[in-house]
Amino acid sequence: MKKLMLGNEAFARGLWEAGCSFISSYPGTPSTEITEFGAKYKEIYAEWAPNEKVAMESAFGASLAGLRSFCGMKHVGLNVAADPLFTISYTGVSGGMVIAVADDPAMHSSQNEQDSRHYARASKIPMLEPSDSSEAKDFVKAAYEISEEYDTPVLVRMCTRIAHCQNPVEICDRETPPPKPYEKNFQKYVMMPGMAKKRHPVVEERTSALEVFAETSTLNRTDEGRDRSIGVITSGTCYNYIKEVFGDEYPVLKLGTVWPMPKRKILDFAKSVGRVFVVEELDPFIETHCKSLGLDVTGKDLFTNIGEFSQNYIEGKFAEAMGRGISVRTKTINAEIPARPPVMCAGCPHRGIYHVLKKNRLTVLGDIGCYTLGAVPPLSAIDTTICMGASVSALHGFNKARSLTDEAGNARTADGTARLKTAAVIGDSTFMHSGVTGLINAIYNESDSLIVILDNSTTGMTGHQQNPTTGFNLKGDPCAKINLEELCRSVGAARVLVVDPYNIAECDAAVKSLTADGLEGVSVLISRRPCALLKSVKHPGPIHVDARRCIGCKSCMQIGCPAISFKEGKAVIDETQCTGCGICAGLCKVGAIGCAAKNADPEGRREER
Amino acid sequence: MITEDKGNIMIVGVGGQGTLLSSRILGSILLSSGYDVKLSEVHGMSQRGGSVVTYVRYNRGKVYSPIVDKGGADIVLSFEALEAARYAEYVAPDGVIVTNTQEINPMPVITGTASYPENIITDLRRAGFNVDAFDALSLANKAGSSKCVNLVLLGRLSRLFRFERSLWEKAIEETVPPKFLEINRRAFALGREA
């Protein structure tokens, strides 16, 4: 039976069919749905971990216990999990272990465009790369076979265009291999120098054995072509663009094992064709390998290492290489088309607290989540975004640096820097991921800092996943709930306040008190209100502008609400978008915006079902 | 009517308008009619009120590329007028734009750093585009909810295909939660008959 499946859904189906029994992951676009779909199979135990390092270590533990395990993450998540990755490479596995890493060329929803294939080579772990949903499922099954036969975790690389593309998949039944008994083996699993020195040669021999495997594996295949004057070496997404443009015109070597690569197969392919093109998005990974084999190939001297490719791009570049032109027939209209960047939703609770932070002219170090969108006008509320947790740690460094003085007692930072008022903002899920270690650092090293936890009771940007503060697990069942206030107090925060971000006056008073001159220690302000998109949240309904009263001062437009616009000198609220949060009404000096009947239920937290 | 052997459709709109549901219903009909199909979606940050695009490609043979490129769309189905203009250059020379006339201001317009172009539909026609423009929001409200604009637009799109009406209705039944089925059926019918 064929079924339309997202690449990520097919990946999860592959996990199930291969007998995977344990999943631990942290959400991250474009990897999230693998774990969400995986959790739907009752035979698989699945959980969200607070971060990718914990997820990978948990999955390793499950493998050690003898079951097939999995963890999934986005490319930047693999940076967090890199520590266990490099050493699990040495220990190997017991039950098969598969790791998904999803890259995001063109940065549809990411802060950088890193190419995770480098991790495979650096950690000496094999990596497979499918080019559609059907292959995603098949490659996962192959990955478990490789994992157990070669005693190694296996990376499977997904990209946005594979992960979030639906195409038909033939589904099969589940086959569960018998669990492996646990055997204590400290020579294999205790990686202290004496033992690790013995494991390193094992890893090198394994890579050599996997190279031999890659030579004969059907994961690497050649599509014959009519015209052998050109040959293309490619993998993953790019294979699709090549076949779209050229069909069966040129021979194509499609690599399914992007690490290690099949040397002999590549050399034989190159010998059988004229000019060799290597087509890959992002870095020259396959190209560099081909060149190390002594091959003269055309790669990044023709194709960009930035962003995504497409069929027109490929057609154009090949035409350029062969000195001919192409003509794509397009029409446009003669009008300036304003950009439509993503924005925080109408009713978003972050909007209220951001307005207050901006009003108080704070320098705000930001973090990763929906609230990153507060960086753009009109809120323009945050100054930095680096990676998960960086707001809290970087704020500590920023504030410490500003407190340093020279021997004469003068500030070492430039004039005026020392006088800035500052804060960090971080979401609840991001705080649990890696903000909490920054908080401990700030307290341990005696920072004078304000950390604002934007607690919207969910992991918003990736589509509403549970986290340790929500009280529900991945399967949707009630579970232990980490209390943010108690956590922050117990590690030594000097002050912990909780405010409702819909209440501007309350937020303003709290921010003023926690940024008062001379205040010492670490303060935590929890801005708590569930995400406006959660199904459990009941909204009071749209509110209206009384056009007779509106004086057109645009006070309500400072908050960048997508439901408010300005027409003929007056503010107008779009009923289809307005949730009735009332933040704009609180800003109106002439009372022209009618408050909704009653505010949303402040206890609306966590009723998601 | 569009070609029977293969086709490229782009569904464009503003994050939150429900473009994904329309593409999934269309995808399931195409698959059950024996086509190879690829639907490409974008999740995550872009969904938050930004410009969103879904590609639907089908072929009696094999579909390779997951995306539609400039000059390649047989149909651009747009949920919002400005988005129709934004993606107009993706329309193939003999392609068609089916668009909602609803206007949703993007943030640069709201903050006053840009203005919403006037007469988009007229300008598109003047530039030589074949445009089917109608007020899908009013029909959605008539069906019972502004949220089912997506099914109204799908209904309008369905007129360009030779598939039996029952096939569409079955696909809607299989995709939409039972609670919202009636209202979505009404929306589809209003779009198809409009």
pLDDT at position A335 = 85
Using CB atoms, pick whichever of B31, B65, B93 lies closest to residue A168. B31
| Contact between chains at A167 and B116 (C-beta distance less than 8 A) | no
Give the pLDDT of residue A247: 97
Residue of A188, A205, A161, A191 lying closest to A92 (CA atoms)? A188
Tell me the mean pLDDT in the region A231-237: 98
Strand-by-strand arrangement of the A2-6 sheet: A2-6, A165-170, B36-40, B51-59, B6-14, B73-78, B91-100, B130-134
Residue with tokens 């929803």: A109
Chain A residues touching residue B126 (CB < 8 angstroms): 333
Instruction: Indicate the pLDDT class of residue A413, thresholds 50, 70 and 90.
Output: very high
pLDDT tens across A528-561, in order?
999 999 999 999 999 999 999 999 999 999 999 9
CA distance B184 to chain A (A): 17
CATH at B168: 3.40.920.10
Q: Does residue B63 contact residue B36 with C-beta atoms inside 8 Å?
A: yes
Give residue A575's pLDDT band: very low, low, confident or very high (50, 70, 90).
Answer: confident
- Closest chain B residue to A344 measured between Cα atoms? B48
d(CA A58, CA A48): 11
Measure CA A456 to chain center: 18
H-helix segments, A247-302: 263-272, 285-292
Residue A113 sits at the vertex; the CA angle it makes with A109 and A115, to the nearest 5 degrees, is 125
Number of helices (H) and strands (E), helices first, in chain A?
21, 21
With a CB-CB cutoff of 8 Å, which residues 109-168 of chain B face chain A? 109-117, 120, 123-124, 126-129, 137, 146
* E strand segments, B125-191: 130-134
Whether the Cβ atoms of residue A547 and residue A570 lie closer than 8 Å to each other? yes
Candidate from B70, B85, B107 with C-beta closest to A312: B70
- The C-alpha atoms of residue B24 and residue A210 are separated, in whole angstroms, by 40
Give the integer Cα–Cα distance in Å for A480 and B92.
55
* Cα A74 from Cα A12, distance rounded (Å): 15
Nearest Cα to Cα of residue B14 among B126, B103, B138, B135? B103
Please tell me if residue B6 touches chain A, with a CB cutoff of 8 Å: no
CA of B48 vs chain A CAs: smallest distance (Å): 5
DSSP conformation letters of A433-463? IIIHHHHHHHHHTT--EEEEEEE-SSBTTTT
pTM, full prediction: 0.95
What is the rounded distance in angstroms from the CA atom of residue B18 to the CA atom of residue B177? Answer: 14
Structure tokens at A519: 């205040």
CA torsion angle A401 A403 A408 A413 (round to 10) = 40
**Model confidence pLDDT, tens digit, residues B93-132:** 999 999 999 999 999 998 889 999 999 999 999 999 999 9
CB contact under 8 A, A108 and B46: yes
**Burial grade of A207 (CB within 10 A; 0-12, 13-18, 19 or more):** middle
CB A430 within 8 A of CB A475: no
Give percent of chain A with pLDDT exceeding 90.
92
Q: Is residue B141 part of a domain?
A: yes
* DSSP 8-state code for residue B66: S
Cross-chain residue pair A562–B49, CB shorter than 8 Å: yes
Q: Where are the domains of chain A?
A: 2-214, 221-321, 350-528
CB contact under 8 A, B114 and A243: no
The 8-class DSSP code of residue A371 comes to G
The DSSP 8-state label assigned to residue A155 in this structure reads E
Probe site for chain A from B37, B39, B63, B64 (most A CB atoms < 10 A): B64
Beta-carbon contacts of A572 under 8 Å, excluding residues fewer than 6 positions away, are A545, A564, A565, A566
Chain A environment of B92 (Cβ under 8 Å):
329
Q: Please tell me if residue A408 touches chain B, with a CB cutoff of 8 Å.
A: no
**Contact predicate A131/A235, CB 8 Å:** yes
Q: Cβ contact (<8 Å) for A340 and B14?
A: yes
Architecture of the structural domain at A221-321: 3-Layer(aba) Sandwich (3.40)
CA A545 to chain centre: 39
Q: Do A166 and B27 touch (CB under 8 A)?
A: yes
Judge whether B43 is closer than 8 Å to chain A, CB to CB.
Answer: yes
What is the per-residue pLDDT for B194?
Answer: 81
CB B130, CB B95: distance < 8 Å? yes
For chain A, how big is the Rg over CA atoms in Å?
27
pLDDT tens sequence across A28-40? 999 999 999 999 9
**Structure confidence at residue B47 (pLDDT):** 64
Do A171 and A114 meet the contact criterion of CB atoms below 8 Å apart?
A: no
Counted across chains A and B, CB pairs separated by less than 8 A come out at 196
Q: Flag whether pLDDT at A595 surpasses 80.
A: no
Mean residue pLDDT of chain A comes to 95
Residues of chain B contacting residue A342, judged by C-beta atoms under 8 Å apart: 15, 45-50
Rounded distance, CA A387 to CA A74, Å? 12
Domain A2-214 - what CATH class?
alpha beta
State the residue range of the domain holding B55: 6-101+118-193
The pLDDT tens digits for B142-183 are: 999 988 999 999 999 999 999 999 999 999 999 999 999 999
CB pair distance less than 8 Å for A336 and B114: yes
Establish if B139 belongs to a structural domain.
yes
Reported as a single tens digit per residue, the pLDDT across B150-159 is 999 999 999 9
Contacting residues of A for B40, CB less than 8 Å apart: 161, 164-166
User: Quick one: closest CA in A to B80, which residue?
Assistant: A340
**CB proximity B94 to A under 8 Å:** no
**Nearest alpha carbon to residue A286 among A316, A253, A315, A318:** A253
Find the residue in A nearest to B40 (Cα): A165
The vertex-A451 CA angle with A445 and A456, nearest 5°, equals 140
Can A221-321 and A350-528 be said to share one CATH topology?
yes
Cβ neighbours of B112 in A, within 8 Å: 566
Contact A331 B127 (CB under 8 A): yes
Smallest CA–CA distance, residue A496 to chain B, in Å, is: 30
Write out residues 357-396 of A within 8 Å (CB-CB) of B: 370, 373, 376-378
Domain count, chain B: 1
Closest-CA distance of chain B to residue A94, Å? 35
Q: What is the CATH number of domain A350-528?
A: 3.40.50.970
The answer to whether B110 contacts A566, with C-beta atoms less than 8 Å apart, is yes
> From the candidates B31, B67, B116, which should be mutated to test the interface with A, based on the most A CB atoms within 10 A?
B67
Residue A248, phi then psi, degrees to nearest 5:
-100, 20
* Whole-number Cα distances in Å, A526 to A434, A451, A487, A501, A539: 17, 8, 12, 9, 22
Partner residue opposite A329 with nearest CB, options B63, B93, B137: B93
In a domain? residue B66: yes
CA dist A606 and B1 (Å) reads: 48
Please tell me the distance from the alpha carbon of residue A76 to that of residue A59, in angstroms, as a whole number. 18
Element (H, E) at A103: strand A97-103
